[in-house]
Every structure is written in structure tokens, then in C-alpha cells.
A and B are shown apart, each in its own frame.
Chain A
Amino acid sequence: MEKIKVSVFIDRDNKNIMIELSNSTLVRDLLMKLDINPVTVIVSRNSELILEDEQLNNNDEIKILSVISGG
């Protein structure tokens, strides 16, 4: 199966990772792989918000932004 590479920034951990995925991977699959509850984040691609059922593309720049803040 063909693979894609995406760059993922996770703001809560202030961490940037490169990740290899199958080319039919959806946003929700990525969150599951990273063990992130979709209720707790919003996800952007190239600075635009995307839905959990959208497919990822090769070389996407993904940001996973936590909805939790304050204290």
C-alpha cells in the first residue's frame, strides 16, 4: 500500500513529528494512532480547520490544537 508522510504539530506537548501513514488515512485515524481524544482538540491543515472524516495527503502540515486551557 502506498504511504504518505505528514508533519504533525501537537501544541499541548509543543512537539513536532513526521509520521508515515497509509494514503487513505483520515484525520480521526491519525488522532487514534496518537491516542488523542477528538473531543479535546481541533485540527488544522495549512492553517485551515479540517473535519475528522477528511483524508490526509502527502506532505500535509497538520496542527493538533488542544481545546483545554486556563486553570
Chain B
Amino acid sequence: MINIKLSCCSEKPVTSLYSGEKLCKNHFTEYFENKVFKTLRQFDLLDKGENIGVAISGGKDSLTVLSILNRLSKENPKIKISAIAIDEGIAGYRDRTLMTAKEFCGKNKINLHIFSYEEEFGLTLDEMLKILDVKPCTICGIFRRYLLNKKSRELGLTKLATGHNLDDECQSIQMNQMRNDLRASARLGPKGGLIKNNKFVQRIKPLYLCTEKEVTTYAFINGLLDNFNECPNAVHSFRAQVRDTLNDLENKFPGTKYSIENSFLQTLPYLKEKFRDGKIKICKNCSEPSSNDICNACVYVEKLKNKIDMNN
């Protein structure tokens, strides 16, 4: 039986919130979009005039961000929107999600810029993993962040919006604690990064306050949900294990994830202050920003070259 007292209206509810309130399609859509707009305002994520790039994979999170920001852009011509996608070269996975991204951008007349590991580094991720004995998510993350920042800057973007949601943030907070890496946590938050530098394009997370389940519900209702797609390399990652543990806890103790993120937000200003003094260097090889003389992307490109030379 549906509990009428907790329902928003006479329409059939499609989801129930953490508070117990049950919402129909229209009221959930309104609730979700208001939450995203509140995030943009509360954390001061957008200035009056912006040239925003949305980093998209073709998955539900990034398409949800792109869809909402695109609407905002139509209502406010000072906000310009384009999409940027990275083709890592993961056969059977990225080719499919990129097709969804292309279809969405084509239908909504959004400029989509695609950059690939193969064109930029000479090899696909699948090929790199055959050469180097390294955790896939480590090397992939380094190259993806590198390309997203470099290409966003070259495209003249003022902000880069990503599809990171509340679940992603909680996982990162927990992973950094388990690795005793508070500096990495200081870079988290709805506005990413630690040190302002004109070589860095500011990252923003409009879905910061939305759970993964809420994003999926929104994507389902609004036709943004594609077939199930999980990166084949991510299945056994540390993040996947932390994610499963957090979901078990959330099921037993509802509100766990909100508590993690809310308490983190209270400590974040202290973390940012503590690690503010770190200096940004310029990579001697590629001139991109780096914390060392040579950036991590160049280190791995060199390792790949050496390994290929050894094998020839």
C-alpha cells in the first residue's frame, strides 16, 4: 500500500527520498533540478558569464549535468556550454558510451570535442595495459585528468563541469583516509583543486549533493539512461570495494553517505588552508602544471617508450 500521507500529490510516486517523502515523476524532477541549482548557488560554482565545458562519458551522470546546464545556458545566454569527451581506447566500453554522447550532443545541438589517448599519447589504454604492469585506473586517471585540463584550457573554457555525485565524493573521502592522503582530500569538494593557477581550469561538480540513486532516477525519468555500462577495468578497483562497503552501510544505516559528505564539508576549509602552500611547477617536458619537475603523464609516456624499445 502507498502511504498517501507521505506522497507529494495524487500522482503515482516513483521514488521515496531519504526523509521518507514519496514523489511522483514531475515533483521528483523539480526536486532534483532545484537541488542542482541550489548546489550551483550555495557553492558559488558559476559566475555571471562562463564558457563551461562539461566532461562527458556518455553515462547517466555526465549527461544529466550536460542536460541541466544546457537548459540553464538557453535561459541565460551569458553561460555558454560545450562538451568534452576523452576516448581512452577501451574496446567494448568507451566506443559504446561515446556513441551515446555523440547522439545526445547531436540531438541537442551541443558542440562535442573528442580527444583520444591514441592521438595524444600514441597508444590506446588497452595497448598501454599490455605493455605496463600497472593498475588500470591509476594510469587512466593520470592521462584523463591531464588531457581534460590541457584541452579545456586550449579551448578557452572558464570551468569544467563533471558528473561527480555524492557517492563518488564519499568514496574519494574514504579512499584518501585509508591511504592517509589528506592532501588529495583537500583537492575535493564541489569546486575542485587547491591552488589557483592560470594553467588549471577550475572543476565544478553540480551533482555534489545528489546520490547516485537520485541521478539514476532522474536519468530514467528524463530518458538519459542508457544500457548498463561499467568500465571493465573498474570492477576490481579499490574504489569499487569502497563503493560496495558504503552501499552496505547505507542500506543498514540510511543517511550514512549524507553524513560523510556533510562532515567532510565542515573540515574542507581547514584542509584547503593546511595544504595551500604547495607550489605548482611546470613540467620540463610538456610545460603542463605539475607537482614535480616532470609531470606524471610524461613519466608514464617515458615508461611506455622504454618498455617498447626494450621489447624491440
Contact = CB atoms under 8 A, between A and B. Distances in A.
Interface of A: 11-12, 14, 37-40, 42, 44, 48-54, 65-71
Given A14-B228, A67-B216, A69-B228, A49 B15 contact: yes
Interface-centre pick from B16, B228, B232 (highest chain A CB count, 10 A):
B228
B137 interface: yes
Interface stretch (B191-199, B217-225, B297-305): B217-225
A71 B231 contact: yes
Given A51-B22, A69-B61, A42 B231 contact: no
B60 A69 contact: yes
Contact of B212 (A11, A49, A51, A67): A67
B130 to A, nearest CB: 19
B15 A51 contact: yes
Contacts of B61: 69-70
Nearest to B28: A49
Contact of B251 (A12, A37, A67): A37
Contacts of A68: 212, 230, 243
Secondary structure at the B interface, as helix, strand, loop or mixed, is mixed
B251 A69 contact: no
Contacts, number: 76
Contacts of B237: 71
Contacts of A37: 247-248, 251
Interface in B243-282: 243, 247-248, 250-251
A70 B251 contact: no
A15 to B, nearest CB: 11
The 7 closest A-B pairs by CB, nearest first: A71-B231, A71-B234, A49-B14, A67-B216, A11-B228, A67-B212, A69-B59
Q: How many of chain B's residues touch chain A, expressed as a range?
A: 35 or more
A42 B250 contact: no
B248 A49 contact: no
Interface-centre pick from A42, A54, A68, A71 (highest chain B CB count, 10 A):
A71
Nearest to B214: A67
Contact of A11 (B13, B217, B227): B227
Contacts of B163: 70
B57 interface: yes
B59 A42 contact: no
A57 to B, nearest CB: 14
A49 B16 CA distance: 11
A68 B228 CA distance: 8
A69 B16 CA distance: 21
Given A40-B247, A42-B213, A49 B230 contact: no
B216 A65 contact: yes
A7 to B, nearest CB: 18
B213 A67 contact: yes
A39 to B, nearest CB: 5
B2 interface: yes
Interface-centre pick from B215, B220, B225, B232 (highest chain A CB count, 10 A):
B220
